[in-house]
């Protein structure tokens, strides 16, 4: 188990005895990359210690809400990757059980020969075990415990001789003694957590505060550690937004065309954009559709008689601030109010320096200094002139800037910028192959 997982699991077990006093009921998501990582052992522990624990592997949607309505159990759901991942109805029921006021579903029930609508509750604690991630909506409503297979040299004590009754009795007594006290405790927000994580962890932080001693500090450390890396990354649209921020860092113009932006994204070879559209590069139209949800819409460039469609660079600042984490060890790109040529400044001096170096003529081979091997600059910097030239060279052809870039030597970069016809000729040859 990861560090701090024991603290989170302990608090969640206690939570199953007092969950009805809270507004949010986070799932405990036990995830592993492969089998034999200890998920079943952890579920067995939960089954022995949680309040009214009930195993529910391969549970159907109709059984889920009927079981909750009848017994109000703590559901222990194993093998979720085999039946939850592709079951939209079941995922919807699990999701709606996260918040008390929405934790209901309605079904027609036969009463004296007539079918009458009946309200069923989906409110209650649920522990879910899966190999690999489930849908991000489920993960976002969960406290995630990422299990790992132990090394051959590691020794772990086996779960034997466990006195179930002793633990459950003590938890029940604690819940009876502290139910009223829990309603009076207000825990402060933790700046390191995003809003959904705050919702998920508030109940556990409240329990830790009620216990006192070292537990409040342990709980906050666990919340930060286990939430770190969540994220926003899970959403492909947010990943697109993050990559656009990377592209626009150091970009020297106020307007970027839809076609140019798509080509820049495809040029990020380690991202999904190079084969995003059914094995083909992402298109400008697809980028436009994905950005609409962030309020960024394509339009025509001012003073452009050709009617080129694209984006005002300044329009990205608001979604960057709202949906992305601040840049680490660098200033967030900001508007350059003093210069008309750019709406964003370089994210870091080192990146600007690397970009400047990438624009110098590459030294001749054998001079004791390695030739420039990364045309996009050191780190994540970009050379906008080079990428613009490659984008223009590929216009109307079935090749991408990344394809063209792979065929160029480091010494060719400046020549391509100085005379784009060379890149165009090479692009035509590649398209004809």
Do 177 and 54 fall within a single domain? yes
Burial tier of 403 (Cβ tally within 10 Å: 0-12, 13-18, 19+): buried
Asked, for residue 215, whether it belongs to a domain, the answer is: no
Asked, for residue 216, whether it belongs to a domain, the answer is: no
Do 168 and 243 fall within a single domain? no
Do 163 and 42 fall within a single domain? yes
Confidence of residue 383 (pLDDT cuts 50, 70, 90): low
Asked, for residue 229, whether it belongs to a domain, the answer is: no
Q: What's the CATH number where 125 sits?
A: 3.40.50.300
Do 170 and 35 fall within a single domain? yes
Q: How confident is the model at residue 17, as a pLDDT?
A: 97
Do 56 and 169 fall within a single domain? yes
The number of folded domains in the chain is 3
Do 86 and 96 fall within a single domain? yes
Asked, for residue 208, whether it belongs to a domain, the answer is: no
Asked, for residue 355, whether it belongs to a domain, the answer is: yes
Q: How confident is the model at residue 338, as a pLDDT?
A: 38
Residue 290 predicted with pLDDT over 80: yes
Domain stops at, among 347, 368, 389: 347
Do 296 and 363 fall within a single domain? no
Confidence of residue 30 (pLDDT cuts 50, 70, 90): very high
Do 41 and 149 fall within a single domain? yes
Asked, for residue 230, whether it belongs to a domain, the answer is: no
Asked, for residue 212, whether it belongs to a domain, the answer is: no
Q: How confident is the model at residue 328, as a pLDDT?
A: 60
Do 340 and 363 fall within a single domain? no
Do 138 and 281 fall within a single domain? no
Confidence of residue 150 (pLDDT cuts 50, 70, 90): confident
User: Which range has the top average pLDDT, 153-167, 178-192, 418-432?
Assistant: 178-192
- Tell me which residue of 242, 152, 171 sits closest to 14, measured CA to CA: 171
Q: How confident is the model at residue 360, as a pLDDT?
A: 28
Do 310 and 337 fall within a single domain? yes
pLDDT one-digit tens code per residue, 110-138? 988 899 999 999 999 999 999 988 888 89
pLDDT one-digit tens code per residue, 37-82? 889 889 999 999 999 999 998 999 999 999 999 999 999 999 999 9
Domain stops at, among 347, 372, 405: 347
Asked, for residue 219, whether it belongs to a domain, the answer is: no
Domain stops at, among 319, 347, 375: 347
pLDDT one-digit tens code per residue, 227-258? 865 544 447 888 899 999 999 988 888 999 99
Q: What's the CATH number where 293 sits?
A: 1.10.10
Residue 270 predicted with pLDDT over 80: no
Q: Say what the alpha-carbon torsion angle 381, 383, 384, 388 is, to the nearest 10 degrees.
A: -130
Do 118 and 257 fall within a single domain? no
**Which residue range(s) make up the domain with 284?**
235-347
């Amino acid at each position: 188990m990861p560090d701090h997982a024991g603290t989170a699991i302990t608090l969640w077990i206690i939570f199953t005895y007092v969950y009805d006093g809270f507004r949010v009921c986070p799932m405990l998501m036990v995830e592993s990359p492969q089998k034999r990582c200890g998920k079943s052992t952890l579920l067995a522990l939960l089954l022995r210690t949680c309040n009214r624990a009930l195993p529910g592997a391969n549970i159907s949607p109709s059984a889920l809400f009927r079981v909750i309505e009848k017994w109000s159990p703590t559901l222990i759901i194993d093998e979720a990757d085999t039946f939850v991942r592709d079951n939209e109805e079941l995922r919807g029921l699990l999701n709606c059980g996260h918040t008390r006021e929405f934790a209901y579903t309605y079904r027609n029930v036969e009463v004296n020969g007539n079918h009458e609508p009946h309200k069923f509750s989906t409110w209650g604690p649920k522990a879910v075990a899966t190999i690999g991630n489930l849908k991000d909506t489920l993960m976002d409503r969960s406290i995630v415990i990422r299990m790992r297979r132990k090394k051959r040299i590691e020794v772990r004590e086996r779960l034997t001789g466990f006195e179930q009754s002793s633990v459950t009795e003590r938890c029940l007594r604690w819940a009876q003694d502290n139910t009223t006290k829990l309603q009076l405790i207000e825990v402060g927000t933790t700046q390191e957590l995003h809003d959904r994580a705050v919702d998920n962890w508030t109940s556990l932080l409240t329990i830790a505060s009620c216990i006192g001693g070292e537990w409040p500090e342990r709980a906050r450390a666990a919340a930060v550690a286990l939430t770190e890396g969540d994220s926003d990354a899970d959403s492909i649209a947010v990943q697109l937004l993050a990559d656009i921020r990377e592209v626009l860092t150091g970009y020297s113009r106020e307007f970027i065309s839809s076609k140019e932006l798509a080509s820049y994204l495809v040029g990020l070879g380690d991202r999904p954009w190079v084969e995003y559209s059914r094995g083909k590069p992402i298109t400008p139209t697809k980028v436009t559709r994905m950005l609409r949800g962030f309020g960024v819409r394509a339009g025509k460039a001012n003073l452009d008689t050709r009617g080129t469609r694209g984006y005002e660079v300044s329009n990205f600042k608001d979604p960057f601030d709202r949906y992305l984490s601040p840049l680490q060890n660098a200033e967030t790109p900001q508007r350059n109010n003093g210069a008309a040529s750019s709406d964003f400044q370089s994210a870091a001096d080192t990146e600007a320096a690397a970009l400047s170096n990438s624009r110098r003529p590459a030294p001749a081979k054998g001079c004791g200094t390695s030739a420039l091997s990364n045309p996009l600059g050191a780190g994540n910097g970009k050379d906008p002139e080079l990428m613009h030239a490659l984008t223009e060279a590929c216009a109307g052809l079935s090749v991408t800037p990344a394809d063209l870039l792979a065929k160029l030597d480091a010494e060719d970069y400046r020549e391509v910028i100085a005379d784009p016809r060379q890149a165009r000729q090479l692009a035509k040859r590649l398209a004809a192959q």
